[in-house]
Structure 1
Amino acid sequence: MSKPKKPATIVAAAHPELDPAYGSVGPAIWPTDTFEWASPDDKPAFDYSRTVNPNRAMLVRTLAELEGAVGGVVTNSGQAAALLALLRLPTGARVVAPHDCYGGTYRLLEAIERQGKIRCSFVDLTNDEAFDAALQDQLALLWIETPSNPLMRITDIRRRASAGKGRGALTIADNTLASPLRQRPLDLGCDLVLHSTTKILNGHADLFGGALLASDPALVEELEWWSNAAGLNGSAFDSSQIVRGLRTLPLRLDRQEASAARIAEWLSQKPEVQAVYFPGLSSSKAAEIVALQQSGPGFMLSFELRGGKPSADRFVAALDLITLASSLGGFSTLICTPSTMTHRGMSPDAQREAGIAPDLLRMSVGLEDADDLIADLARGFSTLGS
C-alpha cells in the first residue's frame, strides 16, 4: 500500500491521466451536456453531464482524498449540499442542529420543519446538559458545525458523533470554516462532511459551489442518486475553477491564519472590545478540544464591541481597506454584522438565544498584510471614543 500523500501534494497534483485525449497538465473543461454512446446497450462512464461530468469527478476525487472519504457529490452551492443531506431523510425525521449555526443552514432547517417534513431541535452543542436532553427523543441526523459561524464555538466532534451513533443517527459536520487542511471530521466519527466550496477552498470569490462527502460507499451512492434526481450537481466550469483554487489552498490558508492570529491577539487588548472569538486564543475555553481535532485555528474570527448596534455601524463605516460584505474565505478581508446580514433570517429571540449580539462583528481575514489590516481596524476604533 502506498503512503498517503500530504494535502499540499494532493492539491498540487496535475492528474494529466484524467484527460484521455491529451493528458493536459492544466485540466481541460468539459462543458458539454451529453456524451456519445458506443451502442444503445453500452453505457459510457460519462453519458449526461447532469449525472456525471469529468470536471466534477476530478473535484470529488481531490476533495475525497483531502477528507479521507470514499467519494461524494459536488453541488452547485453550499446550500444545495445542505439540502442534499436532508433530501434523503424520511418524512418526520428528527434533526438536532447547533443553535448558532450558519444563518442559511438555520433558515433551511426551519423552513423544511414548517412544511412538516422534518422535526428540528436547535441546541447548544457545546453544553453537555442541553445536548444530552436533545438525545432523549428519536434522532435521524446530528448536524455539527465547528468552528461555528459566526461565534467560532468549538464542538467536540468525536464525543458528539459517538453519542449520535449510539442513538442510531448519522452525523454530518460542516467543515467550511476549518477546511480539510485543518480538520477531518470523518476521521473523528462523522458519516458526512459538508463544504461550501464557494469559500476558502475556491478562495477567489468568483463562483458558487458545495460538496457533500461520505465514508460509506452505500451512502455515497445514495447521495449521487438524490443529487442527480434533484438536479443539484455543480457545473463543469465551476468545478474546474474550484480545482484551480485548491492548488494554492495550503499557501493561502497559512497566510490568512497567521494574520487572523495576530489580529485576534491585538483585538483582545482593546478596551472597546467586550469579547474576541477565535479558536487560536490561549484564553479560549475550548483550547484543549481545538488541539485534539484541529491542526490550526483557521482564518475566521469574531469580536463583540461595547455599545450595541450604533457602535458597530460607526465602526464598519470608518473602514477603508476591509470590505463590508457577507461572504468569507476569499483573497480579501471581509467584515459583517451577522445580526443584520448573514443571520438576519433568524428571529431576534433566536439570535439572542444563540448569543448573536447587534454589535458582534465577524471577520474573514484575507491575504492583505496584517499590519495594514490592523491599521484599518484602528480607524474603526477611532470612531468609538473612550
Structure 2
Amino acid sequence: MQKHLSVSLLILAVFAWNACQRNNQSDQEKLEKTNSDTKGTFGYDVAFLKKHNNALVLQAPDNTDAQAIIIPEYQGRVMTSTASGSKGNSYGWINYDLIESGANQPHINAFGGEERFWLSPEGGQFSVYFKKGQTFDFANWQTPAIIDTVTYQAVESDGSSVSFRVNAIIENYSGTVFVVEINRKISMLDKASIMSELDIVSLEGCKAVAYESINSLTNKDADWKPETGMLGIWLLGMFQPTEKTVIIAPFSTHHSKQPLLTDDYFGKIPADRIVVKDSAVYLKADGKFRSKIGIAPQSARNVAGSYDAEKGILTIIQYNLKPEEKYLKSTWEIHEDPYDGDAFNAYNDGKLADGTQMGPFYELESNSPAKALRKGEKLTHRQRTYHFEGSKETLGAISLRVLGVSLYDIATAFK
C-alpha cells in the first residue's frame, strides 16, 4: 500500500512539475510577446537600458509621467524621454544592436540618445576629430574618447536632476593641446517652467515633458587663441523618424529675407525634400535620404523643432544663441574662415553609398560660440528639449507661438 502511495505521489509530482513548466513557459512567452509588442514605449527602453547600463530615470517635479533616462556610461546623455509614463511613446532613437553587443566600434559608438554632449569643430585646421596631417576622410575620422566611450561620473543627483563632471586633455589638428573640465547638468522642468520658458499660456489638451541641460567647458591650462584654435560645445539629439515627420528651422529676417543656409553637406538636397518658406526652413525627416542643413548665427533663431503628424508629437529645442559672436566651422576641409560656422544644424539619416545605414533617425543640433578662454575661464551652453502630445488645436497653438508656423503650414510645406 505504501509503495503504491509513493508511486502515485511521484506521478502527481511529475504532472505538477510538467504543468508548472508549461505555465512558466507560457508566462515567459507572454512576457516576450508583451515586450515585443511594447517596443517603442518608454517602459521597454527603461528595462533594456537598465539591463546594459547604470540607467538613471528622472521625473518632472510635478508630474511623474514626464520622465527621462540618463546614461553616465554614455557621457551623461539623455537617451530618451516620455510625456506619458512607462506605457507612453519613447522619443529618442536608441541603437539597440550596438548596445546589446557590448563591443566598441571604430570611429564612433553611435549609441543613440536624444541629447548628447559633443565638441566642435569636427573638421578643418582646428578639428579635434582628425590628427595633424591626416586627410579629411572617413578612414581617418575618430570621435574623441571623452565624448564617445568615457563614463561621466555623477557628482550630484536627486529625483529630477543629475550633474556630471569630468576632466580631459584634447589635441586639435594644428597640434594645440587643451586641458579642460567638462560639467553637465540635466534638470527636468515642471509645467510652470515649460510655459514660462516658451512664453505659452496653457498646456490644456496635451501632455508634455521637458528638460534643460547646462553644459560648460573650463580652461585649466594655457590661454586659448583664435589663431591656434578654440573649442565649442555641440549638443546633438537623435529622434525616431516617420513618413510624416518634418523638421522646422525658423530663421530671422532682420538682415535678409533669405536665411544664411548651408544645404549641401552631402550634396545638394533635392527640392522635394527641403523647402524655404517665409521665415522657416522645412526638411523631411523620414530617415530615407541622407541630408544635412546648417543655419548661421546671424540668421538662426534660438528655437527649432519637428512635428510627427503620424504620432502627433511636437518636439522643440531652445538654446542659447549669440548672433554677434563667432561659431566654429565643422566641414571636412581646411577653412578660409574657421569661425564662420553654424549655430543650428539638422540631419536626416539615409543609406550610404554602399547601401548600409546606421539608423534610421533624424537629428536636431545646437552649437555654442567659440571663446578665447583664459586659464580658469568657462564657456557655457544651455539647451532645453520639449515634447508635446495632444490635440491638434493645442499643438498648433504652441507651434505657431514658438516656431512661428502652424500645423497646416507644416502639413502643406511639401505640397
Question: What's the TM-score once normalised by structure 1's chain length?
Answer: 0.29
Higher relative contact order (CA 8 A, sep 6+): 1
TM-score, with structure 2 as normaliser: 0.27
Greater share of helix: 1
Could you say which structure has the larger radius of gyration?
A: 2
